[in-house]
Structure 1
Amino acid sequence: MSALRPTLDFLLYDWLHAERLDERARFADHSRETFDAVLDTCERIAREKYAPFNRVVDTQEPHFDGEKVILPQATHEAHQAYGESGMLSASQDYEEGGMQLPYTVEAAAGLFFATASVSINSSLLTKGNANLLMVHGTEPQKAVFARNEFAGRFSGTMALSEPQAGSSLSDIATRATPDGTDFESDPLGPRYRLKGNKMWISAGEHELSENIIHLVLAKIPGPDGKLVAGVKGISLFIVPKKLVDTEGQLTGERNDVALAGLNHKLGWRGTTNTLLNFGEGKYPVRGASGGGLDGRGAGAIGYLVGKPGEGLRCMFHMMNEARIGIGLAATALGLAGYYASLDYAKNRPQGRPVGLRPTSRQDTGNDASVVGKDPGQPQVRIIEHADVKRMLLAQKSYCEGALALLLYCARLVDEQHTGTPEAVEEARLLLEVLTPLAKSWPSEFCLEANSLAIQVHGGYGYTRDFPVEQYWRDNRLNMIHEGTHGIQAADLLGRKVVMEGGKGLLLLAQRINATIERAIQQPALAEHANALGQALQKVGAATKAAWATGQATDALANAVPYMQAFGHLVIAWTWLDVLLAVPAASNSPADEGRRRAARYFFHYELPKIGAWLRVVETRDPTCAGMPEEAF
């Protein structure tokens, strides 16, 4: 983690100028000193309560004893320390007990925890759950549920997927029916009874908090008793694990939410992942006011959030926030692997330098020199080998590029909340286009960084004697988390780059061109600027070509290669913009490292977009047209 802080400081202050946010009324009480104090505190907690136990929570998986889920004591202590730090409500108003901290700083601070142990999940879903309720909930819902989540008393989840539906939310079958004739009179919101099953619910059952607040998507039957087909029939409900009164105090009665099983995962083993049954009758309850449908056993009690049929619109508030969070988690894991493999490469002696050595006619038939190694020379550290440097540079370019992109997105969130009307609109458009990339690109290429970290370690990397295999396992889930890779690609090409007449894409192109215009004035950056300009033109042309027939099936057949190329374009832009913040005369090792990492990305990675875009431009049918029987 000590290696992370200088990089964060450079990106926050030298590049994004986060300290200038204190010029805005909301952040007027803050300064670089207060921001640094937050970073210091989070770095210390992560170092003391998270990092030493990353392997512990991986090997001591959650288990159910028939009554409750058991987690290592270290998880409880980390969760408590995080709650006491105030970071759960860091960006909330003072009146809400928050710090009114910029999200840019909050996101940066969260990287310390994710780098130390992403598997000890203390905040992501709880924050997102509470933030959603602060926007879409009623005042009683905010007071009883959201504020207790910010205080650390309650924790939160998002319950979307179902065993038979997976990512296809239009096919969910969980139903919610009004709880009696007075269902609209409950102070906590219209009260419903939910029945159904939810799958892959992270942190769905544990003993880390007094209560768990599930945000559940379900469908309300129409007048004919049938569920409305498609996403328009989906509504959102607050379903607490334990029932509460209007003051947020536990009533002593358990809601009918039952753990059906724990999923045993490749990675993120320290966080429970659950299958939950709602309304199966294991914990039968009466209505919150003492009544209910058919007395006991009629379903889990849930309170409607927002209006009926608007559940998915409300849930996207949490989903988009979670997607940036997953991007940060993927980046943190990539960085953790990079730092581990860099340390290993600096200390592991193996092999000797490759050079020319004279040979005899007996060896080659002439007196020429051949490439070889002198076994009489001492071994060198593996960081001296060119291919190891290649793997380290690739990791650095992926992970620090992804980190810059994620912090830029966090800065856009602050712009949305505190900027001028024009800046607010521009931030909205840019986030629409960048959010799928902020989630997907790190989850693919920081995972590749973890694979390279294993390769640097050689055979040792494949063992549990070193942490890099766990980083890879933890990171592999992020291509699935919060919308799979294919879903993000379809969202990017199918919606985000064409929405509102392509306004978001045009604005992003303007931002990229502005960076190119600045960089081309510097001789050392002109080559990169020209390469970025060519890449931008290629992506623009491919976007038009993909939609040339006007048929979504044609355009989206190669959505993932499009997203990979688009992501590489954005990371190259981010690197070039970062280099503009590096003083031209600086010879510091850190600045030279940034120049070299950017150069690697422009020379080794950016040229790859040609192959990806070729299949997009031609609407290549190879994959979409493959007959099932030919497999």
Structure 2
Amino acid sequence: MSRILSRRDLDFLLYEWLDVEALTARERFAEHSRETFDAFLDLCAQIAERDFAPHNRRNDLEEPTFDGERVRVIPEVAAALKAFHAAGLTAATMDERHGGSQLPVVVARACFLWFQAANIGTSSYPMLTMANAHLLITHGNQEQIDTYVRPMLEGRFTGTMCLSEPQAGSSLSDVLTRAVPVGDGTEPARGGKPMQNRVYRVTGSKMWISGGDHELSETIVHLVLARVAGAPPGVKGLSLFIVPKHLVGPDGAVGERNGVALAGLNHKMGYRGTTNAVLSFDGATGYLVGEEGKGLAYMFHMMNEARIGVGAGAVALGYTGYLHALAYARERLQGRPVAAKDPAAPPVPIVDHPDVRRMLLASKSYVEGGLALVLFAAKLLDQPSPENDLLLDVLTPIVKAWPSQWCRLADDHAIQIHGGYGYTREYPVEQFYRDNRLNSIHEGTDGIQALDLLGRKVVMRDGAGLTLLLARIRETALAAPPELGEPVLATADRLARTTAKLWAGGDPTVALANATLYLDAAGHLVVAWLWLSQLAAVADKPGDFYDGKRVAARYFITHELPRTGPLLDLLDSRDTLLVDLNDAWL
């Protein structure tokens, strides 16, 4: 069995639980079938095993370097990306008119998990590129799609998102990068053809830009948030610009270097195979996407896709850590059962020890629950409707943050199960943990996701999103066996009451003081719900796989869901300790 990911679990979730074959009844997916879905999954597993996994350790040990002129990345990265692009995977979900395969998002997400589990550093480049392309297809004009998106989907260009700045971090209201129109803002005609682009000069600095500089592609398409002169303060004054590393000619050829310079590389504790850049824009040529002042709204298209991608990456890293720990626990002989009195008796596999079983079962419940969460959210994108869109809005901060915390704990357990070896580089689990630790800050910290969930998503439209989510949870819980359904139902009712109590006073400072606790409680409730839903798909099917699903669901609901009680108690108290805290006391 692969230690990268479980194909058996993916098949169960896609076909037995989510019934993705039913999507082929939709016109968009009519050319697909289970056979084509399986072919994509098989291909991705093969490329991940052959081209991504072998250099994961080298990616970590020999991270990218900058010699003042160029960034150097180990050669295996370019070879892996070439294989990825050659298989048509960059355009897998895109429209046929853009050269895509119109693969359902949920199947594509399952496919991409193989690459994230095999090598999170290398997989970051196509993840960002695909999200960049999706944004431009949705909000860019035809010329921008032809000039930048098509080469990205062909594997010639890569893409980034440039939001953060050294002085601002996640506070996008404080973005200082400026954009000044060139002349009247219109682009000169090319070959007698009028251009659609509005041209600006972009000046400023951007920080923490994943994939921000390298030589893995002909050029890099940066999507940059900047403020046009005279724009209002705050996020309402932000506009979005395409600022390519190199200018692209009317014939599509890559030309001279644009005014984008690499000021340096950041070196993080994980994701070391992904370049992370500080970029300086010195009057760089930029092309306005859409309208001025709507930049953040456009950027959320990419940010939300990236947030789900980060959650998926956290699941993938936790899952591969769990599989490595499980294999090790079955192979490693150490100790004897507590009832064994004979020191001459042979040692037993450590999987026989209850505490090791505890960590393995907890990890299984986290990573399989997290995988269900990610794929459920992905399927909502394949069935757009006002109701599904609303549900996805509420779930997105949970999809991003919950796996980033709890699937990382699976990697923590994997290290512990390996014992002293787990803390060495002889085994990969320490790298999985370091890589996964970054996911709690990528695309918005856990605290930011908590504020988004409690401060925006559950109260928008008079709480319509939360009402919908809780109705779905209650429906599943009422149909489940009472011993498991009733705790989930009670927690759903409790979350509803707590939410109302938090906002009853109308003071956002008090309501949001402990937002991270709310995110933890809501996340555990949602995952418990999805475990109940999986149980319905398991039904009475026999075999170890289905028995494993049943025991993991029971464990999560009886051992993990009760964690929400003390969290909700504290939230109900509307405690203001953190608001009242004097920093001199720290």
Give the shorter-chain TM-score range: over 0.9
Deviations 1:543-589 (A, max 9, x none): 011111111101100000000000000000000000100031x3311
* Alpha-carbon distance in 2 for matches of 1:246, 1:441: 45
Partner of 2:390: 429
* Amino acid corresponding to residue 271 of structure 1 in structure 2: T
* Amino acid corresponding to residue 566 of structure 2 in structure 1: A
Cα distance, 1:373 vs structure 2: 4.0
* Alpha-carbon distance in 2 for matches of 1:316, 1:149: 20
Partner of 2:466: 505
Partner of 1:561: 517
Partner of 1:402: 370
Partner of 2:476: 515
Counterpart among 184, 188, 197 of residue 189 in structure 1? 197
Counterpart among 203, 228, 231 of residue 232 in structure 2? 228
CA contact (8 A) 2:454 2:515 kept: yes
Deviations 1:31-68 (A, max 9, x none): 00000000000000000001111101000110012221
Cα distance, 1:517 vs structure 2: 2.3
Cα distance, 1:173 vs structure 2: 0.3
| TM-score (structure 2 length as normaliser) | 0.97
* Alpha-carbon distance in 2 for matches of 1:255, 1:615: 53
Counterpart among 547, 550, 571 of residue 595 in structure 1? 550
Partner of 1:317: 301
Matched, 1:104 2:65: no
SS where residue 277 of structure 2 aligns? strand
Cα distance, 1:126 vs structure 2: 0.3
- Segments of 5+ residues of structure 1 without an aligned counterpart are 280-298, 356-371, 417-423, 520-524
Deviations 1:360-394 (A, max 9, x none): xxxxxxxxxxxx74312210000000000000001
Partner of 1:202: 210
SS where residue 260 of structure 1 aligns? strand
Partner of 2:150: 147
* Amino acid corresponding to residue 235 of structure 2 in structure 1: V
Matched, 1:450 2:411: yes
CA contact (8 A) 1:545 1:618 kept: no
Question: Which one is further off, 238-247 or 131-140?
Answer: 238-247
Partner of 2:43: 41
Partner of 1:492: 453
Partner of 1:266: 269
Matched, 1:475 2:436: yes
* Amino acid corresponding to residue 156 of structure 1 in structure 2: G
* Alpha-carbon distance in 2 for matches of 1:504, 1:438: 15
Deviations 1:6-44 (A, max 9, x none): 000000000000011111111111100000000000000
Matched, 1:219 2:245: no
* Amino acid corresponding to residue 578 of structure 1 in structure 2: Q
Partner of 1:289: none
Partner of 1:413: 381
Counterpart among 64, 73, 76 of residue 74 in structure 1? 76
Matched, 1:583 2:544: no
* Alpha-carbon distance in 2 for matches of 1:495, 1:534: 24
* Alpha-carbon distance in 2 for matches of 1:188, 1:354: 75
Matched, 1:466 2:427: yes
Counterpart among 159, 162, 171 of residue 159 in structure 1? 162
Partner of 2:572: 617
* Alpha-carbon distance in 2 for matches of 1:96, 1:119: 27
* Alpha-carbon distance in 2 for matches of 1:354, 1:552: 53
Deviations 1:304-339 (A, max 9, x none): 001100000000000000000001000000001000
Counterpart among 207, 230, 249 of residue 245 in structure 1? 249
Cα distance, 1:148 vs structure 2: 1.2
Cα distance, 1:188 vs structure 2: 5.0
* Alpha-carbon distance in 2 for matches of 1:229, 1:28: 47
CA contact (8 A) 2:258 2:284 kept: yes
Question: Which one is further off, 10-19 or 141-150?
Answer: 141-150
* Alpha-carbon distance in 1 for matches of 2:289, 2:126: 22
Counterpart among 333, 339, 358 of residue 323 in structure 2? 339
* Alpha-carbon distance in 2 for matches of 1:394, 1:119: 26
Cα distance, 1:182 vs structure 2: 5.1
Partner of 2:486: 530
CA contact (8 A) 2:187 2:196 kept: no
* Alpha-carbon distance in 1 for matches of 2:74, 2:395: 37
CA contact (8 A) 2:178 2:229 kept: yes
Partner of 2:561: 606
Partner of 1:358: none
* Alpha-carbon distance in 2 for matches of 1:624, 1:342: 43
SS where residue 261 of structure 2 aligns? strand
* Amino acid corresponding to residue 257 of structure 1 in structure 2: V
* Amino acid corresponding to residue 72 of structure 2 in structure 1: I
Provide the identity percentage. Answer: 53
Cα distance, 1:617 vs structure 2: 1.1
Matched, 1:352 2:336: yes
Partner of 1:284: none
Q: How many aligned positions are there?
A: 578
Partner of 1:541: 497
CA contact (8 A) 2:170 2:444 kept: yes
* Alpha-carbon distance in 2 for matches of 1:35, 1:183: 45
* Alpha-carbon distance in 1 for matches of 2:249, 2:463: 48
Partner of 1:130: 133
* Amino acid corresponding to residue 305 of structure 2 in structure 1: E
Partner of 1:30: 32
Cα distance, 1:180 vs structure 2: 2.1
Partner of 1:62: 64
* Amino acid corresponding to residue 328 of structure 1 in structure 2: A
SS where residue 119 of structure 1 aligns? helix
Cα distance, 1:123 vs structure 2: 1.2
Cα distance, 1:403 vs structure 2: 0.2
Counterpart among 14, 17, 30 of residue 19 in structure 2? 17
CA contact (8 A) 1:140 1:246 kept: no
* Alpha-carbon distance in 2 for matches of 1:315, 1:458: 44
Deviations 1:469-526 (A, max 9, x none): 000000000000001110000000000000011111111111111111221xxxxx32
Cα distance, 1:184 vs structure 2: 5.5
* Alpha-carbon distance in 2 for matches of 1:374, 1:611: 44
* Amino acid corresponding to residue 537 of structure 1 in structure 2: D
Cα distance, 1:609 vs structure 2: 0.2
* Alpha-carbon distance in 2 for matches of 1:612, 1:95: 50
Cα distance, 1:248 vs structure 2: 2.2
**For residues 401 and 45 of structure 1, do their structure 2 counterparts lie closer, same or farther at Cα, with a shift above 3 Å needed?**
same
Cα distance, 1:247 vs structure 2: 3.4
- Segments of 5+ residues of structure 2 without an aligned counterpart are 190-194
CA contact (8 A) 1:133 1:142 kept: yes
* Alpha-carbon distance in 1 for matches of 2:463, 2:250: 46
Counterpart among 364, 383, 403 of residue 351 in structure 2? 383
* Alpha-carbon distance in 1 for matches of 2:550, 2:30: 35
SS where residue 181 of structure 1 aligns? strand
RMSD: 1.1
